Amino acid sequence: MNISVIGTGYIGSVTGACLAEMGHTIVFVGRDTKKLDIIRAGRSPIFEPGLDTLLTKNRDRIETTTDLVSAVEKTELTFICVGTPPNKDGSSDLSQIREVSQTLGKALKSNNRFPTIVTKSTVLPGTIEGVIIPILEKESGKKAGTGFGIASNPEFLKEGTAVEDFFHTDRVVIGVSDGKTKDLLENLYRPLNVPIFTTTLRTSEMIKFASNAFLATKISFANEIGNLCRELGIDSYEVFEGVGLDTRINPKFFRSGLGFGGSCFPKDVNALIAHAKSRGITPRILNSVIATNDDQPRRMVALLKTHINPRGRTIGVLGLAFKPDTDDIRESRAIPVIRMLLEEGASVKVYDPVAMANFKKICPDLTYAGSASELLDSDAVLIVTEWDEFNRLDYTGKLVIDGRRLPKARKEAAVYEGLCW
Ligand code: UDX
């Protein structure tokens, strides 16, 4: 099939590359010509294991353009993968969605086939029916479901394992309102041989938010129980190993510690909170999920202070990415930890295998170490991201506050404090 993908961020580049690997011809549409050039050269515009390989291997089936209208003209299916960043009040900024919908609507006007528009961007329930369809219909003069197809197809990929997640997802979720679009998308995903859950547009949109909110809840729950376990001298990892054996619960996403960051959990939970409030519903659980998450970095710094006064001391921070195997620092727990250390008067030395360049853009004045081992001569070491290479360092004689439970640090450090164990 000929498919256009609008947006070259995480969702767009992974979706396009993986669909190309499935044998489809892909047109990437973007505004950033540098990124498009990188894709055209068969390389990945983002740091994501396995993505380079797919883009190189399928180069012959991949085109790039800045011209959305021409891309839609030559493709049957168009995926909207643009960003929906948070506004100050937590709600989603839909300006890119609106802009793309307007251009798409114009492109649909002269298109006499039955082009199908699929929203992969994370949008709150009701956005496709309340925002996207009205714009498309107004600009094209056509009706959704008869003049063009419309669908929701939320993405559940995790950064760092996105390619693997695409091909081995637990489920594909499709929201549709007409039979033709339903068949088209179900056929597209059938070769993956994974469960396909087809439902209405707004239910599909809600599945994405409920999934992310539940996973974030699981982490904050593990952290709350973990904080208590620590006080009681109990190992929360052992507790959740035992809890997770209950198949109704399952053991995943119970890793307690510094809490969640990234481009999805904080943003999506806050967007759901703002949405609930706007409908007169008090989201008590979701408010607590965020509050618990916000408190973990403070607990880390408080633990450090039980051993040394950070003022005038050099504190080493291992890890800046919001999780390993990515250079993404969005909402990384390193940000509040470092902010609090600076407020305490510490001199902060940091290291991350791939995220330092991104971090320098927001915090240029820190000391950036040349290697992880170089950072170990700090007065204390805080483990913020569990990169594999941090588990090969020699922690003998060190004071370590661990937010991610690195086995080697736990075994070797002279003074070791685990955040939730
Ligand atoms: C998440 C969802 O997992 C994915 O389905 C959705 O599409 C996008 O958001 P991602 O943000 O890439 O993916 O990473 P994920 O592995 O889920 O981790 C998110 C954050 O939670 C990280 O900061 C991680 O360190 C933290 N986390 C995760 C924990 O603190 N404990 C856990 O047990 C799991």
The string of pLDDT tens digits covering residues 237-257 is: 999 999 999 999 999 999 999
Distance 253 CA to ligand 1 centre (A): 8
Flag whether pLDDT at 85 surpasses 90.
yes
Q: Where residue 167 falls among pLDDT bands split at 50, 70, 90?
A: very high
Q: Where residue 90 falls among pLDDT bands split at 50, 70, 90?
A: confident
In DSSP notation, 181-219 reads HHHHHHHHHGGG-S-EEEE-HHHHHHHHHHHHHHHHHHH
Q: Quick check: CB of 323 below 6 Å from ligand 1?
A: yes
Q: Quick check: CB of 420 below 6 Å from ligand 1?
A: no
What lies within 8 Å, CB to CB, of 406 at 6+ separation is: 383, 386, 390, 391
**What's the farthest any 2 CA atoms get from each other in the chain?**
72
Distance 265 CA to ligand 1 centre (A): 7
Task: List active site positions.
Answer: 264
Looking at the chain, the whole-number percentage of residues with pLDDT higher than 70 is: 100
The closest of 80, 95, 116 to 6, measured between CA atoms, is 80
- Across residues 175-204, what is the average pLDDT? 98
Note the pLDDT tens digit of each residue in 289-301: 999 999 999 999 9
Flag whether pLDDT at 199 surpasses 90.
yes
The closest of 24, 215, 44 to 118, measured between CA atoms, is 24
The closest of 221, 320, 331, 203 to 270, measured between CA atoms, is 331
The closest of 266, 263, 385, 257 to 317, measured between CA atoms, is 385
- The length of the chain in residues reads 421
Q: Quick check: CB of 142 below 6 Å from ligand 1?
A: no
Q: Where residue 7 falls among pLDDT bands split at 50, 70, 90?
A: very high
Q: Quick check: CB of 209 below 6 Å from ligand 1?
A: no
Residue type, 230: R
Q: Quick check: CB of 320 below 6 Å from ligand 1?
A: no
In DSSP notation, 247-315 reads TTT-STT---SS---SSSHHHHHHHHHHHHHHTT---HHHHHHHHHHHHHHHHHHHHHHTT---TTSEE
Q: How many CB atoms lie within 10 A of CB 397?
A: 10
Q: What 3-state DSSP class applies to 372? A: helix
Angstrom distance (rounded) from CA 409 to CA 388? 12
Question: Whose CA is closest to atom 26 on ligand 1?
Answer: 260
Flag whether pLDDT at 71 surpasses 90.
yes
Distance 154 CA to ligand 1 centre (A): 16
The DSSP secondary-structure symbol of 378 reads S
Given this model, what pLDDT does residue 89 score? 87
Predicted structure pTM score: 0.96
- Across residues 338-343, what is the average pLDDT? 98
Mean pLDDT over all residues of the chain? 97
Q: Which two tokens stand for residue 7?
A: 């947006």
Distance 384 CA to ligand 1 centre (A): 14
Given this model, what pLDDT does residue 191 score? 98
Angstrom distance (rounded) from CA 211 to CA 152? 15
Distance 116 CA to ligand 1 centre (A): 31
Given this model, what pLDDT does residue 91 score? 86
- Across residues 283-309, what is the average pLDDT? 98
- Across residues 388-397, what is the average pLDDT? 97
Residue 112 has, within 13 A of its CA and on its CB side, a CA count of 0
Flag whether pLDDT at 412 surpasses 90.
yes
Q: How many CB atoms lie within 10 A of CB 116?
A: 22
Sheet holding 399-402, edge to edge: 367-368, 347-351, 314-318, 380-383, 399-402, 415-418
Query: Which of 15, 153, 260 to probe ligand 1 with, by most ligand atoms within 8 A of CB?
Result: 260
Number of the ligand 1 atom closest to the C-alpha atom of 332: 23
Given this model, what pLDDT does residue 8 score? 96
- In the chain, count H helices and then E strands: 17, 14
Q: Where residue 209 falls among pLDDT bands split at 50, 70, 90?
A: very high
Flag whether pLDDT at 5 surpasses 90.
yes
Number of the ligand 1 atom closest to the C-alpha atom of 165: 5
In DSSP notation, 124-156 reads -TTHIIIIIHHHHHHHH---BTTTBEEEE----
Q: What 3-state DSSP class applies to 421? A: coil
Given this model, what pLDDT does residue 50 score? 95
Flag whether pLDDT at 111 surpasses 90.
no
